[in-house]
Structure 1
Amino acid sequence: MNLSALTYTVTERFLRYVTIDTQSDPESPTSPSTEKQKDLGRVLVAELLEIGLADAHMDEHGYVYATVPANTDKDVPVICFCSHMDTAPDCSGKGVKPIVHQNYTGADIVLPDDETQVIRLADHPDLKNQLGNDIITASGNTLLGADNKAGVAEIMDACLQLMKNPQIKHGIIKILFTPDEEIGRGVDKVNLGKVGAYAAYTMDGESAGNLENETFSADGAKLTINGVSAHPGFAKGKMESAIKIAGEIIAALPFELSPEGTEGMEGFIHPVGIQGHVETATIEFILRDFDEEKLHAHAETLKRVTDEVLENYPASSYSLKIAEQYRNMKVVLDQHPEITEYGLEAIRRAGMEAKLCSIRGGTDGSRLSFMGLPCPNIFAGEHAFHSKQEWVSVQDMQKAVDTILHLCAIWEEKA
């Protein structure tokens, strides 16, 4: 299948989408967590309808659904492409001013609105694969939003190409855009009955050519320390400060089980929040590992360290609550190997070396897989996400569009 004659719209779409503030809010109880995510959802629905996807709509929770109708008589399994619309709370997504740096030469990219923000080849190794390409960044005051508006734009362009090019044979293709992925709620309210697919692919990965079929397994932990309060002027032999106990516990955790001390397939214990007073303090942790047995061992390590610290505070006590967050999607995907194999073949047909990778994190696909919709993650080209130095290349986004189109064709061929 020759895609050389395609007129891509992915860059134009991406440059428009990133200017819409869709930052999610972990403190909000609503769904979506911020109404402004629907601003992008409404734009996408209007464009999908214009493309010809007649059932495109957004529900009350901000999920966008649409269908590309089949153009083959074959009985092809329904597949879905999914990306999230929200940007991370870690860095402002308001007033994004995207800049296209044409014909990248390897020189430092200084962001004009904050010249201390410099994107250097030495700090971003994948830039070595971008010489001659066109790099898109923000201006220095915000993140860019390539995570995951690159994926959104790629899917939207692919929808257009499928509708304009009937020579690309495919079955029914479902489209799903989700809110609140960045705060762990991306599929909380999804209607899988509307999706009705056998397999899905999130477009939310990093380097061109990567396909990820494995994520961390994840738990959250809440440690509550009950200390002993006393007037500080008369506290000798009485006070056992929960704040200080919390600090000792955090300091006693093994460095080799910290995010900053791990890489590759190594898991970690990570304190992400602490609050309290002398009498009571609470620490929130995230626990991560690819191996579920090791994940449970991390919880035991946290308990052991807490017990050891509390030995020096006989009047104090604690409670530890562990809550499951998501599990390694490889467990599910290994039961459906063709889903991953077809994804890798699509990447190769798009002219890249296909690389199977693991994610030191999670995606909507992690939870979708365990909800009955097996879902690996394909590259979208995003880099340095959640930061002011976030970037993506025009050419990588176009390769992602090609990958989607080849993948649709492969499912039809194999049917």
Structure 2
Amino acid sequence: MSIIINTIKDFSVAERFLRYVQIDTQSDPSSETFPSTEKQKNLSKLLVEELLAMGVTDAHLDQYGYVYATIPSNTAKNVPVICFCSHVDTSPDSSGENVKPVVHHNYQGQDLVLPDDKSIVIRYDEHRDLANQIGNDIITASGTTLLGADDKAGVAEIMDAARLLLNHPEIKHGDIKILFTPDEEIGLGVNFVNIEKLGAQFGYTMDGEKAGTIEDETFSADGVKITIHGISVHPGFAQDKMQSAIKIASKIIGTLPEDRLSPESTSGKEGFVHPIHMSGTVEKATIEFIVRDHATSNLSRYETELENHVKNILSKYPKCTYTFEVQEQYRNMKEILDQYPQIMEIGIEAIQRAGMNPERRSIRGGTDGSRLSFMGLPCPNVFAGGHAFHGKQEWVSRQDMEKAVLTILHIASLWEEKTN
């Protein structure tokens, strides 16, 4: 079966990707709706139409913006039901409106100057994986927006794999479930997923980076909101009376350690405490933090240190008070995935069969798979091929997306092959 899959050449993944990235699906962290932007459904509706046209008869969009679909089993074996998942939204960090994808054919190692803003340059010596792309077709945006490879590359790969599974019945597989989610980029992607309805036992998110990588470990994550209650007095009469909440909040942030526990000073499996938003007035100010570490037990230690830091600053302002709220966001999926080693074993073998050297990685971040794993769907993260996510230098190669499609086909085939 491996030989049959690797002879497939009629990919449509690049064509799909170029079409999908031109649909604005940016999510909005300030929204109070779900999904956070209605425009995300524009792509989701198109995906349902394309799945139905392929012959996936149960493809549909629910009220929350999730796309559910099933490719029925074509084997007599009782194969575990496998889900492939990607998210349709793009990051709020850079514009996703009017994306104009550019294909740089037969890349030869040059710096890529983007045509609509020539100050945006994807430099060979700054993007290490460009060394592996000689002769490939590199897709970028035009210089004024992000590209959307995160995660429309994953969406396009799953869609093309679905088409190929339906067109190649000689590839044996069990039931394959497809799930496309909104709002992953703002941490809400699986809030309303119906796991029972989905009906899968194991899953793979197609949301990773470099070709050949598979990730079974994420950060564990909490959010912290600190509210400072100051003393507001008319500034003309404020001497020895005013205690400004916004100035206190600024001191809290300005005196955080710079040589540790910050994104700027950590790497690998080192955790951090990172302020992401501050707002306020003299009377009341809030600071929002994200707290991250691969070891869940470290989060409470970081939060205690942060609260002690706040108390120390507030000790100089005895009339002021504060609140310190911690909210769990997601947990390291490795805690779940280690209980089901076959998921990773099959993922690694699928990458090998697709002609790559597998690289097992940890993520300094999270995916939908982080939360899905704790919701009952153990779900590692497989490469989608994109690079430099969330910014104007984002890029992906056509050939790497095709390798991801082959990897999906091999995963589906291997679960069938290894079922007695």
Q: TM-score range by the shorter chain?
A: over 0.9
Residue 89 of structure 1: SS of its match in structure 2? coil
Alignment-mate amino acid for residue 61 of structure 1: Y
In the aligned structure 1, how far is the partner of 2:229 from the partner of 2:36?
Answer: 32
Which of 263, 278, 283 matches 1:279?
Answer: 283
The 5 A counterparts of 1:140-159 are: 140-159=143-162
In the aligned structure 2, how far is the partner of 1:50 from the partner of 1:93?
Answer: 27
Which residue is equivalent to 2:171?
168
In the aligned structure 2, how far is the partner of 1:244 from the partner of 1:33?
Answer: 32
Alignment-mate amino acid for residue 366 of structure 1: S
Which of 50, 54, 59 matches 1:56?
Answer: 59
Unaligned runs of 5+ in 2: none
Alignment-mate amino acid for residue 277 of structure 2: G
The alignment status of 1:94 with 2:102, answered yes or no, reads no
Residue 395 of structure 1: SS of its match in structure 2? helix
Which residue is equivalent to 1:84?
87
Query: Structure 2-normalised TM-score?
Result: 0.97
Which residue is equivalent to 1:270?
274
Which residue is equivalent to 2:384?
380
Alignment-mate amino acid for residue 104 of structure 2: H
Unaligned runs of 5+ in 1: none
Runs of 4+ in 1 over 6 A off after TM superposition: none
In the aligned structure 2, how far is the partner of 1:295 from the partner of 1:131?
Answer: 42
Comparing 106-115 with 239-248, greater Cα deviation is found at 239-248
Which of 25, 38, 41 matches 1:38?
Answer: 41
Comparing 182-191 with 367-376, greater Cα deviation is found at 182-191
Alignment-mate amino acid for residue 123 of structure 2: R
Percent of aligned pairs sharing the same letter: 64
In the aligned structure 1, how far is the partner of 2:320 from the partner of 2:42?
Answer: 50
In the aligned structure 2, how far is the partner of 1:262 from the partner of 1:301?
Answer: 17
The alignment status of 1:300 with 2:304, answered yes or no, reads yes
The alignment status of 1:108 with 2:116, answered yes or no, reads no
In the aligned structure 2, how far is the partner of 1:33 from the partner of 1:312?
Answer: 40
Query: Structure 1-normalised TM-score?
Result: 0.99
> What is the CA deviation profile of residues 2-22 of structure 1, one whole-angstrom value per residue up to 9, with x for unaligned ones?
222331000000000001111
Residue 286 of structure 1: SS of its match in structure 2? strand
Which residue is equivalent to 2:7?
4
State the Cα distance separating 1:212 from its structure 2 match: 0.5
In the aligned structure 2, how far is the partner of 1:293 from the partner of 1:160?
Answer: 44
In the aligned structure 1, how far is the partner of 2:27 from the partner of 2:178?
Answer: 21
State the Cα distance separating 1:234 from its structure 2 match: 2.5
Residue 309 of structure 1: SS of its match in structure 2? helix
In the aligned structure 1, how far is the partner of 2:174 from the partner of 2:233?
Answer: 70
Which of 380, 392, 396 matches 2:396?
Answer: 392
> What is the CA deviation profile of residues 91-128 of structure 1, one whole-angstrom value per residue up to 9, with x for unaligned ones?
11111110110111111100010011000012211111
Comparing 13-22 with 311-320, greater Cα deviation is found at 311-320
The 5 A counterparts of 1:253-402 are: 253-255=256-258, 256-402=260-406
> What is the CA deviation profile of residues 311-340 of structure 1, one whole-angstrom value per residue up to 9, with x for unaligned ones?
211221211010101100000001111111
Residue 257 of structure 1: SS of its match in structure 2? coil
> What is the CA deviation profile of residues 13-67 of structure 1, one whole-angstrom value per residue up to 9, with x for unaligned ones?
0000001111111122222111111111111111111111111111111111111
Alignment-mate amino acid for residue 312 of structure 1: K
State the Cα distance separating 1:80 from its structure 2 match: 0.3
Comparing 343-352 with 190-199, greater Cα deviation is found at 190-199
Residue 346 of structure 1: SS of its match in structure 2? helix
In the aligned structure 2, how far is the partner of 1:80 from the partner of 1:66?
Answer: 10
In the aligned structure 1, how far is the partner of 2:123 from the partner of 2:348?
Answer: 30
> What is the CA deviation profile of residues 79-100 of structure 1, one whole-angstrom value per residue up to 9, with x for unaligned ones?
0000000111111111111011
Which of 210, 215, 218 matches 1:215?
Answer: 218
Alignment-mate amino acid for residue 102 of structure 2: I
In the aligned structure 2, how far is the partner of 1:5 from the partner of 1:259?
Answer: 42
What is the root-mean-square deviation in Å for CA atoms of aligned residues?
Answer: 0.9
In the aligned structure 2, how far is the partner of 1:225 from the partner of 1:32?
Answer: 31
In the aligned structure 1, how far is the partner of 2:193 from the partner of 2:289?
Answer: 27
Which of 72, 75, 78 matches 2:78?
Answer: 75
Which residue is equivalent to 1:192?
195
In the aligned structure 1, how far is the partner of 2:9 from the partner of 2:193?
Answer: 33
Residue 130 of structure 2: SS of its match in structure 1? helix
Residue 361 of structure 2: SS of its match in structure 1? strand
> What is the CA deviation profile of residues 331-380 of structure 1, one whole-angstrom value per residue up to 9, with x for unaligned ones?
00011111111101100111111011111111100010000000000000
Which of 128, 133, 140 matches 2:131?
Answer: 128
Q: How many matched pairs?
A: 415
Residue 213 of structure 1: SS of its match in structure 2? strand
